[in-house]
Amino acid sequence: MEIRNPQIWHYQMAPNAILFSLKKESAYRYNLSRKLAQEGKDVFGYGKKKEEKAELLELKNIRLNCRPGEKEEIIRQVGQLLCQSGCVEESYIDAMLKRELSFPTNIGNGIALPHGVEEAKKTIKRSGIAVMVFPDGTDWGGEMVKLVIGIAGSGEEHLEILSVIAECLADPADVDRIVGYSAEEIHTMFTGKGCS
């Protein structure tokens, strides 16, 4: 085959050669990155695993049929649930007790929402709640509460948590209904689509 114009041939072949070398380099990098990503290493953005947001309320953080007790001990128990599930550092429990001394957390309707003082936000690892149900009620500074919900709100998420609780427990009848719920039903109520 005779090439009539060498300049045209050069123009037609050179871009293909460059394109071939770019494809080859890209394929090498892609395969290398994929291999490293499979090994759990981070290269060129590959291998970064999307962090799955943990549920606000884990099933293991729901305690049914709790017996009445001292308010301080109940706060320690609900705080320990948050700590064991990785929501907070252990020092957050003391911050919950400190909050209770300065401002009681019972909000009426048979509900108490113990949470830490503002300075303790740095000890919150992720947002979460823990629920303790007292069918016979427990004394909370002169008021009987049936539902104790420990709260750890990271950043501004505490407002979102409070709005979920308010939506689900607006009526005193809601609290009485929850007392008879299973842990799964309580879990669905706080994490599912509705609060009915």
Q: What whole-number distance in Å separates Cα of residue 95 and Cα of residue 87?
A: 14
Catalytic residue chosen out of the listed positions 10, 115, 158, 187:
115
Element (H, E) at 75: helix 71-84
Cα→Cα distances 173→46, 163, 189, Å = 51, 18, 15
20: number of Cβ within 10 Å: 10
Is 115 assigned a catalytic role?
yes
CA distance 152 to 14: 63
Q: Which residues are catalytic?
A: 115
